A and B are shown apart, each in its own frame.
Chain A
Amino acid sequence: TQLLEQSPQFLSIQEGENLTVYCNSSSVFSSLQWYRQEPGEGPVLLVTVVTGGEVKKLKRLTFQFGDARKDSSLHITAAQPGDTGLYLCAGGTYGGSQGNLIFGKGTKLSVKP
């Protein structure tokens, strides 16, 4: 069974700090997506990475897909209260009972002003 482990599970920081969230697996994934879920809302896609070693930037957010396509990281620079939410990684894989997408359990980020 393919699993995605996210760490840390919880993160509480002050506005302006930097942080990194990790998504790790022992399995290879064909793609890796990151979603953010704000309180009371459904998750929203932030980015999709498909190539080992790929780095994508979205304003203050930097996403990296590991060279072996088994892990990914999300780095936020100068966090703001608006970054508060649940960050979910999801690995793309063929077949199985997961509809081609396996979700990690998420990292709950709280950014205090």
Chain B
Amino acid sequence: DVKVTQSSRYLVKRTGEKVFLECVQDMDHENMFWYRQDPGLGLRLIYFSYDVKMKEKGDIPEGYSVSREKKERFSLILESASTNQTSMYLCASRQQGNLLTGELFFGEGSRLTVL
């Protein structure tokens, strides 16, 4: 069964803390994505990666960075968490070669609360 696994389902952090969100996929997909999901705003793309060591900014990259050292792992980093980063974070992967029609496989999400 194909799977995208996010390391934490729920996290509570304090303002100013460094936060790591880990995502691992077992499908050998080249493309990986980080979205945040907020009520009324839908899914907004933070960063994506077409392959190992590659990264591209999405619509809302400010306050975030990413790391893709291995093909199966894509990490989202909040250098200094702020309360406006409280959100649901979704990781997804997709096979390369199907940019317009390829299925995105999502993880279950990581709900981050910043106090």
Q: How far is the CA of A103 from the CA of B4 in the complex (A)?
A: 20
Q: In residues 62-98 of chain B, which contact A (Cβ within 8 Å)?
A: 90, 92
Q: How far is the CA of A94 from the CA of B99 in the complex (A)?
A: 8
- Is B41 within 8 A of A105, CB to CB? yes
- Is B103 within 8 A of A103, CB to CB? no
- Chain B residues contacting A41 (CB-CB under 8 Å) are 108-109
Q: Is A31 an interface residue (CB 8 A)?
A: yes
- Is A48 within 8 A of B108, CB to CB? no
A interface SS class = loop
Question: Which B residues have a C-beta under 8 Å from some C-beta of A?
Answer: 4, 31, 33, 40-43, 45, 48, 56-59, 90, 92, 99-101, 103-104, 106-109
Question: Which A residues have a C-beta under 8 Å from some C-beta of B?
Answer: 9, 30-31, 33, 35, 40-45, 48, 50, 88, 90, 92-94, 97-101, 103-106
